[in-house]
Amino acid sequence: MTLAVVVFIILDVFLALWFIYPEYFYSCRVNLVSQSQVVKLQIKDKKLFNDFVKQYVPCENGHFKIGDPASNNPPTAVKSIKLLIDDRQGVLGNYPTQERDINATDKTANFTYDYLINENKKEGILHIQFNRDYVSQPNFDTLLPLILATKLDIFYKFNNRSQWLDRTLRPETFSIRTDQIGVLYTKL
């Protein structure tokens, strides 16, 4: 009799946790990996950061539905999204750089980015590198969330170009700062 009660209690706890924290059972994990020698990013508030990412790439039934805008492949369901920040210049640049993303002095890109989908690991990767001069701007605190928001939005709306946020959002009108998305950054 007591074994049945213990099993019943364990099942009740498991079901309660499943309803309260479904993301742990369905996945939809978000990771930030910072390997840059230009800027160090780290998550200060995981809930704020997860909410920020999921605002632009919604978690649907335990998966993110994403795609690479440079391919004609159908959407892919992945269990996690990784934001990878590093310095491997020349690796990226598959996407046209908009005029506002060009350094006015030396005509280099302020940042480069790419989308990678690892179907074996069920992981989508937003891969970004920043130019040192760009990170040194006084308003990088608001530029970083803007870049992340627009590039995450493209990952989700990859085949609906007219709806991409980077077509309409401007730095002057975007006021979210890094601390509001749960991220700390340090210029190196």
Predicted confidence at residue 185, as pLDDT, reads 95
Strand 123-130 relative to strand 80-85, pairing: parallel
CA angle 11, 63, 72 (to 5 degrees): 160
pLDDT exceeds cutoff 90 at 50? yes
Judge whether 44 and 180 are in contact, CB under 8 Å: no
Predicted confidence at residue 70, as pLDDT, reads 80
Predicted confidence at residue 96, as pLDDT, reads 47
Q: What would the mean pLDDT of 42-71 be, rounded to a whole number?
A: 93
Predicted confidence at residue 98, as pLDDT, reads 54
| Alpha-carbon separation of residue 122 from 23, 76, 157 (angstroms) | 15, 8, 18
Predicted TM-score (pTM) of the model is 0.81
Percent of the chain predicted with pLDDT > 70: 84
pLDDT grade, residue 91 (50/70/90)? Answer: low
Judge whether 52 and 174 are in contact, CB under 8 Å: no
Q: Per DSSP, what are the bridge partners of residue 129?
A: 112
Predicted confidence at residue 65, as pLDDT, reads 94
Percent of the chain predicted with pLDDT > 90: 49
pLDDT exceeds cutoff 70 at 102? no
Half-sphere exposure of residue 133: CA atoms within 13 angstroms, side-chain side = 10
- pLDDT tens, 115-149? 889 999 999 999 998 988 889 999 999 999 999 99
Q: What would the mean pLDDT of 81-98 be, rounded to a whole number?
A: 69
- pLDDT tens, 151-178? 999 999 987 888 888 777 778 888 899 9
- pLDDT tens, 69-79? 888 788 999 99
